[in-house]
Chain A
Amino acid sequence: MSANCNTTNLRGVKAKRLIKQIYVYVILAIVVAVLSMLKGDLFQRGNFLFPPNIANLLRMSAPILMISSAFTLIFITGNMDLSVGSILSLTTVVNAILLLNGFSFLAAMVIVLSLGVVLGFINGFLVMKLRITPVIATLITMNAYQGLARYLVPPGISSITNTDTLTMPEWMGNFSKGQVFLGLSWAFIVAIALLIGLVILQRRTVFGKYLVAAGGNRTAAELSGINVVKVVWGVYILLGAVSALAGVARASYLLIGEPYTGTGAETEAIIACLLGGTVFSGGEGSVVKSFVGALIIVCLTFGLKSVIPEYWQMLAKGAVLVFAVVLNHLLSKETAVA
C-alpha cells in the first residue's frame, strides 16, 4: 500500500480543537493573574483587581469592546475594514458638536448612528460594488474619515470642547462615566447588550448564517441563492453603526470631541479578533471570543499603565499583535477529517 498513509492522530486532533476553543480565556486568565501580582495586595487599593479599578477599566473600554465584537463579522466574511478607528474619531467629534449645540442625548445618538450607517454604506459600496480590494478601499476611507474628523474641529483648537458661548451639557459624562450598577457604566452595559445581540445575530439569524456561507464558500453560497454582495455590504453598514455607537460612548467618556481618539482602534480590533481565534480567510469567528480578546487588550493597556511608562504602549501593542498572529497561525492548521 502507499507508504504515505499516516494515521490521523485522533486524540491529538481532539486536544487541538479543545485548545482552539478555550485558549483566549486562558490567556485572559493569565494576563489578569499576572497583572494582579504586580502591585499591591490582592483586591486592595493599588492592586489591579481592586474593584473600583476594574470598574474604571470597564467603563473606559466600552468603545473598543463594541468595535471588536462587531469586527469579527467582517472577518468572518473574509473581508477587512481598516476605517473603524476613523469612524470612531469622526463620530466622537460629531457627537461632541451636537451635544455642545444643545441636542439631547438621544437625538445626538440617532444622528451619529445614522452617520455611521452612511460611512459603512460607503465602505460597502467601494468593496462590493466597485470591487476595490477591502484593504485599499478601507485605507482610503480611513484617511478620508479621519481628515473629516479633524476638519470638523475648528482650526486652532485641538478638540471640540467648551467655548465662550457654549458648554457641554453637564450630563454628558453620564453614559460612560456614570456608575449604574457595581460601578459599571451605561456604556458598558450597552456593550454587553450589543454583544448579546451580535451573538444572537450570529447564531440565530439567517443573516449570521449567510455571513459564514459567504466567507466559507462564496460559490456554494451564491449557488444556494444567497446575495453575497448584499450580505457583506450589510456587514460594513453594521460595523459603521457600531463604530458610531462607540463614538457616542467615547465622547461621553472624554467629555470632549477629540479627533484623533480612534487612531489605532482598527489594530486593537484586529488583535482582539486574532486572539479570539478568528481566521483571515473567512468562515470562522466568534463574537464572544473577540470580546474576550478585547478584554485582554484592555487589561494590558490599562493594567500596564501604572507599571510601565506610557511610551512602552506602542511597542507592547505591536508585540501582542505579532504574538497573536503567530498563535493564530499555529492553531489554524486544519483539524483533520473524520
Chain B
Amino acid sequence: MESNVLEIKGLVKDYPGVRAVNEVSFEIKRNVVHCLVGENGAGKSTLIKILTGACERTCGEITLNGTDYCARNPKEAREKGISTLFQELNVVDQLTVEENLTLGIEDTICGFLRKTDKIKKIIAVLKDLEPSINPKERVSRLSVAKKQIIEIAKAVAAETDIIIMDEPTAALSESEINRLFTIIKRLREKGVTVIYISHRLDEIFTLGDYVTVMRDGKHVATKPIAEVKDRSELVQMMIGKTVIESYTPKEKPAEELLLELKDVCNHKLRNVSLRVNRGEIVGFYGLIGAGKTELARAIYGADDYSGEIRLNGEKLGKSPEKTIRAGIALVPEERRTQGLFTLLTIKQNISAMNLKRISKLGMINAMQERNTAKDYIARLNIKTDSMDKETSKLSGGNQQKVVFSKCLFANADLLILDEPTRGIDVGAKAEIYAMVRGLVEQGKTILFFSSELPEILNSCDRIFLLYEGEIKAELQNGIDINSQDIIHIVTGGTAS
C-alpha cells in the first residue's frame, strides 16, 4: 500500500481574473493528521473545494490511493473516499443519532427499515469515539460538538480514507476541543487520514503530524511538525514579506471622541470596550470567527447586545433605523444577501438608505434620484452603461461600489466597513482604498473590519486585534508594526 494517501500535482484553479490555486503540488501521507494553514485568500478554501467536489479544477492531477481522483459533487467525493466536515453541520436535527448515522445507507426489506449488523457496526464506531452519546437521542438535543462527532462517526464507518475538517473548533468549548483531539488521534489508528484546517496555530502544534502552508495561491512548504521550530516560523511562512505601502500617519492627530463602547457583550462578543476619535480610520483585524462581523453589527444595531455604545456622548439605538439617523452606515459583509437589492437597479439601490433626501413629503423626486445616481456612478467609477441596470448583472467590484454609494448617500459621519474588498479584483480594491482615504480627508470616521492584514496595515491609523470575541490588543500604526506579532496574537497567542 502506498505511503501517500493523496498526491496533488500541479493543481491549478483559475477564476476570471485571478488564479486562486497556482501550481500546487504536495503529498499527504497515510494515517496522519495533516494540517493546512494559510491566510484568507491563500487558496486553502479553493483547494478544499476541489477535493470535495464543490468546484472543478482548471488543471492538474490528484491521486487518491494510487488512482486518479475526480469528484463532481460532495456526494461523489464521499463515495470515492473523501468526507468533509463543514462548518454548517450536515445532520438532520429532527432525526435520532442512529437515524442520522444510517441516513442514505439503510438496510431495508420492502421499504421497511431493518436493524442489521451494519447498524450495530456503525453504532459501535460511534460508541468507540464517544460513549456518552445515546443513539436513540434526537440530534436536535445535542451540542454542536456532539453533532460533529456523529458526522465523524458516519465518515469513519463508511471507511473513507480522508476526512477533511474545516475550522472544526470554531464553535467548541475547551473540553469539547480536547475530546475532539482525542478522537482525531484515534482516527489515525483506524486508518483514516485527517486534513485539518485551522487558523489556531496552537492546535496545529498540538494535533498535527504534518503541516502544509499556502500563500497567495501557491504552495510554500510541507513539513513534519517536528521540523517546524515554533510559531514564528509558521507565521513567517504564512505571510512571507508583507509589503506595507508607505502609510502616512495623520498630521493632525484626531482627538475628538466620537464613538465609545463599554463592556459590549452578546452571543459572540466578550466585554468589548474601546474608543474611536473623529477622523480616524480604525482597523479591526482577526481571523474567521474572531467576532469582527458581530462587533460591526452590534455597533450598527443590527444585532442585540448588552453594554453601552455612545455616539457623540449619546446612547446609540439598537436598530439600523436608529443608527442611520444618528449618522452611521454599514457596508455589510455579505454584499449579495445583505447589502444589495439584486433585483433592483443601480439607481434604486443607491437611494435606498436615504429616501428622505430624494423626496419631499413622501414623493420621490425622480430627477434628483437620477442625478444622485449619475453623480455616484461617476465619483466611484462604477462601470455600467446605464443606471437602470439590475445590480445582479454587475461584477463584484462594481456591486460593492453601489453598496458604498448607498452608504455614502446616507450621509453618515461614521462608516462601518465589513470585509469591504472581499471577492473583488485588484483594480477595484485599489479604488476602494483610495476612496476610504478620501472620505477621511473629508472628515468622516471609518471602522475597517477585515481579515486581510495588508489592507489593514495600509489604511488604518489604529488597529484592534480580535480573537474569540475579545479585543486582544490595540496598536498604533506607523510605530514599528510587526506582522508576526500580529498574527501571533490573532491566532490565540498572548501579547508579549
Contact = CB atoms under 8 A, between A and B. Distances in A.
A147 to B, nearest CB: 34
B75 A338 contact: no
Contact of B104 (A204, A212, A226, A335): A226
A205 B92 contact: no
Contact of B106 (A206, A222, A283): A206
B93 A205 contact: no
B265 interface: yes
B29 to A, nearest CB: 28
Interface string B264-294: 0111011100000000000000000000000
B271 A225 contact: no
B141 A338 contact: yes
Interface in B388-420: none
B15 interface: no
A206 B112 CA distance: 6
B306 interface: yes
Given A216-B92, A220-B90, A206 B113 contact: yes
B377 to A, nearest CB: 36
A262 B112 CA distance: 33
Interface in B97-114: 99, 103-106, 108, 111-113
A214 to B, nearest CB: 9
Given A4-B267, A216-B93, A338 B104 contact: no
A315 interface: no
Contact of B103 (A215, A224, A283, A338): A224
A3 B141 contact: no
A217 B91 contact: yes
Contacts of B94: 212, 215-216, 283-284
Contacts of B106: 206, 209
A24 B108 CA distance: 33
B103 A220 contact: yes
Contacts of A226: 103-104
B263 interface: yes
B104 A224 contact: yes
Contacts of A220: 90-92, 103
Interface in A230-262: none
A158 to B, nearest CB: 43
A325 interface: no
A227 B396 CA distance: 34
Nearest to B107: A206
B271 to A, nearest CB: 7
A212 B100 CA distance: 11
Interface in A178-227: 204-207, 209, 212-213, 215-217, 219-226
Nearest to B137: A338
A209 B113 contact: yes
A2 interface: yes
Interface in B71-120: 74-75, 78, 88, 90-95, 99, 103-106, 108, 111-113
A207 B106 CA distance: 11
B113 A221 contact: no
A18 interface: no
Contacts of B469: 2
B95 A2 contact: no
Interface string B298-309: 000000011100
A206 B104 CA distance: 9
B143 interface: yes
B104 A225 contact: yes
B90 A217 contact: yes
A204 B112 contact: yes
Contacts of B95: 209, 212-213, 216
A325 B85 CA distance: 37
B93 A283 contact: yes
Given A2-B270, A4-B266, A220-B103, A206 B75 contact: no
B74 A338 contact: no
Contacts of B306: 3-4
A229 B243 CA distance: 52
A330 interface: no
B142 interface: yes
Nearest to B110: A205
A338 B265 contact: no
Contact of A205 (B90, B91, B112): B112
Nearest to A336: B141
Contacts of B103: 209, 213, 220-221, 224, 226
A106 interface: no
A205 B112 CA distance: 4
A335 B266 CA distance: 20
A207 B140 CA distance: 21
A1 interface: yes
Nearest to A5: B265
Interface in A302-338: 334-335, 337-338
B265 A4 contact: yes
A206 B269 CA distance: 43
A235 B376 CA distance: 52
B113 A205 contact: yes
Nearest to B270: A2
B222 to A, nearest CB: 30
A337 B111 contact: no
A211 to B, nearest CB: 10
B141 A219 contact: no
A263 to B, nearest CB: 33
A266 to B, nearest CB: 24
A337 B75 CA distance: 29
Interface of A: 1-4, 204-207, 209, 212-213, 215-217, 219-226, 283-284, 334-335, 337-338
Q: Which 8 A-B pairs have the closest CB atoms?
A: A224-B104, A283-B94, A220-B90, A225-B104, A216-B94, A216-B92, A224-B103, A3-B265
Interface of B: 74-75, 78, 88, 90-95, 99, 103-106, 108, 111-113, 140-143, 263, 265-267, 269-271, 305-307, 469
Given A204-B112, A215-B94, A219-B88, 12 more contacts: A2-B265, A3-B271, A3-B307, A205-B108, A206-B111, A209-B99, A213-B92, A217-B93, A225-B75, A225-B105, A283-B92, A335-B140
5 contacts: A209-B103, A216-B94, A221-B103, A226-B103, A283-B94
